[in-house]
Structure 1
Amino acid sequence: MLFDIVVVSVALWASFALRFDRWTMPANLDTWLILLSAPAIAVPIFIRMGLYRAVVRYLPERALWTMLQAVTLAVVLWVLVAFLSQMTGRGIVPRSVPIIYWALVSIAVIGSRFAAKWLFWPISRKLILQRPAVVIYGAGEAGTQLAMSLRATHFIAGFIDDDTGLHRREVAGIRVYPRSQLSNLVQDFGVKQVILSMPSLSASRRKEIVASVSGHGVKVQSLPGITDLVTGKYLVSQIREIEIDDLLGRSSVPPDLGLIREMIVGRTVMVTGAGGSIGSELCRKIAQWSPQRLVLFEANEFALYQIDKELAGRNDAATIAVLGSVTDRARVRHAIIHHGVDVVFHAAAHKHVPLVEANVLEGIQNNVFGTKTVVDAAFDAGVKSFVLISTDKAVRPTNVMGGTKRWAELIVREKAAEAARTGTSQRFCAVRFGNVLGSNGSVVPLFKEQIARGGPLTLTDPGMTRYFMSIHEAAELIVQAGALSEGGDVFLLDMGQPMLISDLAENMIRLAGLTVRSETQPDGDIEIVATGKRPGEKMYEELFYDAATARPTRHPKILRAAPASDDSSLGSALHELSLALAQENELAARNILFGLIVETDHAGRT
């Protein structure tokens, strides 16, 4: 500020000297007053327009326009003051002096700042440029603590906050900007990382902010949730990656501990397909809820080894690893009877649509007859609760995988009817839901691999939609749905709104800090390519045959499908399907598979 007072005064004196070609000091009081009025007017304007808020070494080039505006305004106001002084008879200011004064003070004020930036701090500038530049979204207490912890290793370009009362202010010595200024910060400081520092943010608000910020080609990270901070699971300085789950905008509902206790606590639980994505997450959740024993039934040796080793290291529950296929009747019966299983979660299935479409007989053998084997063994052994993990592809199926899962639902429903007739009090039900983010063979891991390779991202059709939920939420809801069963139920998990696969692809590219290459943005990083719909794929999935008949349960995210009439033709259809498999007649197997589905769906939909 002192420098500007001297510079402005000298610039005005030099303007008069150039005009009169007389380089002498002022000879009277009126001339001194005119000279001193210049800094008296200019400095308050410079303060108001933020010329002293910016650190010179970080001065962006766009600050040139702000400084030029400030200088011009200061000169214009000084001219008004000088004109008024002339009217009172205190000296005369030639018309050329303001023009000379404006040129000189612009060069002096603006030039001195940029000269200082580029000449006086070359070493500091290089060190700062070597540090990663970040923007912190949220100027609250958590954001302030985060800024303090990052200052030694990062250059904090600024805070972004939606509170208009904080805009143009400084918090912890760092300027606060509106969201609209993010693109300028990215451009001026080379920001590649934005950190969300709002731990208590709602899921829907987080989704909105992440979608907005990720569109600037920056990597978005986040502080842990407020619960994790309070419990000490994370520190404020520990930053996690934004997951694609955050873009779903789903509000989590705490598990109903009453349902959990009824289903798990003190019981022996068996999970088939325990090494798969859904099965392994079920095992992790169940192990936390104090079962007496947890039986891990899995056909893949390495997958079984992985989940068994993980759970053994946590010491949450006693686990028993059983290697075997669900199509092996003797192995399944022995596992259930020998270990005294009370509850079965049947997650074992072939679920990759194109692969099952290309391997029809194996898909039917595993998904249909494997389910029947486990259901029969559970019924004969007196298992109290049986839960089938189904899929939205079982509704009006157009592919073999969806058709086999619909048959699995019918097998479970038939066994529930038998249990009701014989009065065994056993409960058999199915839980139907959409895609799980990050599950084996799903689109999310595929997109991650393609992004890591530099693209392109491949999808079958830009207009295709799917339901998505996180794998953690799905596992919790499956267990609770099983506790709500009355026998023969098909439960539907609330999946929210379907998402365009193309939107998912774009969001994942942006979350990686990259941009989408398209016709409108040819210089983008990664292209999205449509490859065409594959055999058996649907443009959209459904959870209901008739959404109007779905009934609520005591859990807000679990619905119960309307009960359907029993189907007496399932037994004969299973026999025909078995013969088609024995004869390796794929065409006959397909016809039987879809023929029964058409009949049962017309007779009584669920």
Structure 2
Amino acid sequence: MPRKFILVLLVMFDALVVAMTPYLGLLIRFEGNVDSQYYQMLSSYIPVIIIVPLVVFYFFKLYHRLWRYAGISELLAIVGANTVSSVMLFSLIYLSMPGLPRTMYFLSWAFNIFIIGMSRVGVRVLYYWNQNTKRNTDNILIVGAGDAGAMIAREIKHRYYETKKLIGFIDDARYKQNQLLFGAKVLGTCKEIREVVVKYKVNEIIIAMPSAGGSVIREIVHECKKTKCSVKIVPGIFELIDSKVSFQQLRNVDLEDLLRRDPVELDMKQVASYICGKRVLVTGAGGSIGSELCRQIAKMSPKTLILLGKGENSIFEIHQELRIKHPDLPIEPIIADVRDRERIDAIFSELKPRVVFHSAAHKHVPLMEKQPAEAVRNNIFGTKNVAEAADRAGSEAFVMISTDKAVNPTSVMGATKRVAELIVQNMSTKSATKFVAVRFGNVLGSRGSVIPLFKKQIAMGGPITVTHPDMQRYFMTIPEAAQLVLQAGALAKGGEVFVLDMGKPVKIVDMARDLIELSGLNPDKDIKIKFTGLRPGEKLFEELLTAEEGTTSTKHEKIYIANLKSVNKENLLKAMNKLDSATLEPEEVVRLLQGLVLTYKPNLLTNKMLEQKFGPKEHNNQNYQSDALLSSLNL
């Protein structure tokens, strides 16, 4: 109907209501036996009784609202308008004609609020009913009748009721069965999802359990797959901002959800104590871990956040993101290479960061196996440059990001990261700065990691390439890794190599099959899995908690300290000089690293590469003349 016509109807309805309610008040006051003189007295004021409320209603904008979306604010406006108009009428009528009973004014006020309020609610109900009969709404089933489920249900009821209808909840808690939440019933347990979907013609399932572990989510997703419903999920607790859940955050189920780990409980006071109000510098700030560290650090009110990286595009992106999210935080983007000693010294001398997180590194094992000199320059001497600059600048703490591949390494990348740990340990013995390293395994979704590669291969129609059917790796989410790195920095006393609890290792082929199924396809049928064989430097199993000498627990249940041998400073210095002065041919670098890291054992593919250059060791001693020197450098 035209807007003007609806406005006229509302005004006429309100005029009729305010004119009738005083008479209704008299009838109730005198229990139906009203003296005619009261009717005569009241009738003489009918124009005032109608005009005053309508004018007040106009000023309270009761005729300028979309009542189809009426809520609490509209109800308060109705109460306020009727209260003001009733007070005005009482002042005008009772003071000039005190014969009318005061109870009439109160009853009239109450009836006006009730009848006018119900009329506006009726508009919303009619609109809601009309829309539901016209549109094909999605029938929604929420798995999880907890806080997250309640937030999603509230949004569906109040914001998405035109297109979505909440059918009910699924929850395994017995005491919640058949209970109502936002007018919807808990219809059963997770094992009954399929039956509920069929019975209530559900179109979409929302998994609202952000704190649930990966095994629980895996079982629920398995049950949901038995239906033809689309499945959405509330992100894990690591992805949520301030633990607030909204409908816009819903996304498709991803591999991260199936591998979800228990939430990390941080000692925020302890973490903030060494970051808040300090100049904080992050190397490799444009990378997966570096950028997430910047996001977490920015929340803790540092004095200045310095973003240092070699790639201008990645630094530009994280800088723009942080400027929008934290407009009041001073942020200093710097393009620099950690291998450039003079440039790094100049930056530290000028900005004097108090806390340094060193995440810049080459990480791709096969690439570094073919170009070990680059791994040495970046991972070893880059770390040395930044660590010494931090020492000279008087930084309070230096936290280096290391890897599980540094444990009994079989790759150049792992060996160089172990040497970087040795540098950090050595620096802690002669500096007032707290130097520590933090080891962890693979992070889900990081650049160049296996999951983005698998997704691209699925999008191209396959096959998915897996190196070996028994290949296993440790995984954690990027936010979890960053949070634990920050917590480890708070625990630092100097010289520690912290090890993060990565949980249980996961088979890469299982991850590939999960990703194929999450894409709505069948493994080995729609998308083939092809085994390509181990690459140079790769292990079948990574070691993390079983470090060379074991581990010691800390105050945090997910952070340990690796019990490593103390650093032989003289041998380390000799080895570093040898690496620095060497021609850095690939074979020579590998042999030098073997002498520097006793536990470094290149795998068969790397040895084959060496033999192609030097020939078999037992038949060509001349090419291994540096072995005696290397033995003297063992730490």
Change (3 A) 1:576 1:475: same
- 2:477 is matched with which residue: 470, 475, 478? 470
Alignment match, 1:275: 286
- Three-state SS of the structure 2 residue aligned to 1:569 is helix
How has the CA–CA distance of structure 1 residues 586 and 600 changed in structure 2, closer, same or farther, with 3 Å as cutoff? Answer: closer
TM-score, length basis structure 1? 0.68
Q: Tell me what 1:570 maps to.
A: 572
1:296 partnered with 2:303: no
RMSD in angstroms over aligned alpha carbons?
A: 3.7
The reply on whether 1:361 has 2:367 as its aligned counterpart is no
Q: Can you list the C-alpha shifts for 1:111-160, whole angstroms capped at 9, x where unaligned? A: xxxxxxxxxxxxx99975xx666543246773754664666435778754
Deviations along 1:313-344, one digit per CA (max 9) or x if unpaired, are 22252111111100101110011110011111
Is the counterpart of residue 597 in structure 1 residue 597 in structure 2? yes
Q: Which residue of 2 aligns with 1:458?
A: 465
In structure 2, C-alpha distance between the alignment counterparts of 1:470 and 1:138, rounded to whole Å: 23
**Contact 1:137–1:196 (CA under 8 A) maintained in structure 2:** yes
The corresponding residue for 2:416 is 404
Counterparts of 2:516 and 2:229, CA distance in 1: 10
Residue 263 (structure 1) aligns with: 274
Distance 1:603 1:258 in 2: 47
2:433 corresponds to: 426
Give 3-state SS (helix, strand or coil) of 1:517's partner. coil
Q: How does 1:277-356 map to 2 (within 5 A)?
A: 277-313=288-324, 314-315=326-327, 317-356=329-368
1:196 corresponds to 2:203: no
CA separation in 2, counterparts of 1:600 and 1:517? 37
In percent, how many aligned pairs have the same letter?
Answer: 42
1:137 paired residue number: 143
CA distance in 1, matches of 2:175, 2:488: 47
Looking at structure 2, the residues matched to 258 and 323 of structure 1 have their Cα atoms a distance apart, in angstroms, of: 32
CA-to-aligned-CA distance 1:213-260 (integer Å, 9 cap, x gap): 357676532246799999694436763443433322421133212321
CA distance in 2, matches of 1:277, 1:227: 15
Please list the CA deviations of residues 168-224 of structure 1 after superposition, one character each: whole Å capped at 9, or x if unmatched: 999968893554455577789997743113466566534543455357676532246
Conservation of the 8 A alpha-carbon contact between 2:513 and 2:523: no
- Bigger drift between 347-356 and 258-267 goes to 258-267
Q: In structure 1, what is the Cα distance between the partners aligned to 2:266 and 2:329?
A: 19
Question: 1:548 Cα deviation (Å)?
Answer: 7.2
SS in 2 for 1:345: strand
Alignment of 1:512-523 (within 5 A): 512=519, 514-518=520-524, 522=525
Q: How many residues are paired up?
A: 468
Is the 8 Å Cα contact of residues 267 and 342 (structure 1) preserved in structure 2?
yes
Tell me the residue number matched to 2:172. 162
- Indicate conservation of the 8 Å contact 2:548/2:564, yes or no: no
CA distance, structure 2, for counterparts of residue 330 and residue 445 of structure 1:
36
The answer to whether the Cα contact below 8 Å between 2:238 and 2:263 also exists between their aligned partners in 1 is no
Change (3 A) 1:169 1:542: same
Q: Is the 8 A contact 1:387 1:429 kept in 2?
A: yes
User: Aligned letter for 1:532?
Assistant: G
Aligned-partner SS, 2:597: helix
Q: In the alignment, residue 577 of structure 1 is paired with which amino acid?
A: L
Kept after mapping to 1: 8 A contact 2:211/2:263: no
Structure 1 187/504 Cα, relative in aligned 2: closer, same or farther at 3 Å? farther
Matching residue of 1:447 = 454
TM-score when scaled to structure 2? Answer: 0.65
Secondary structure of the equivalent of 2:487? helix
**1:496 maps to which residue?**
503
Where does structure 1 lack aligned partners over 5 or more consecutive residues?
Answer: 1-123, 420-424
For structure 2, the 5+ residue unaligned runs are 1-131, 602-630
SS state at 1:566 partner: coil
* Helix, strand or coil at the partner of 2:430: helix
Deviations 1:288-310 (A, max 9, x none): 11111111111111111111122
1:548/1:376 CA distance change after superposition, 3 Å: closer
Cα 1:139/1:444, change in 2 over 3 Å: same
Q: Say which structure, 1 or 2, has more relative contact order (CA 8 Å, 6+ apart).
A: 1
The amino acid of 2:172's aligned partner reads: D
Q: Is the 8 A contact 2:404 2:439 kept in 1?
A: yes
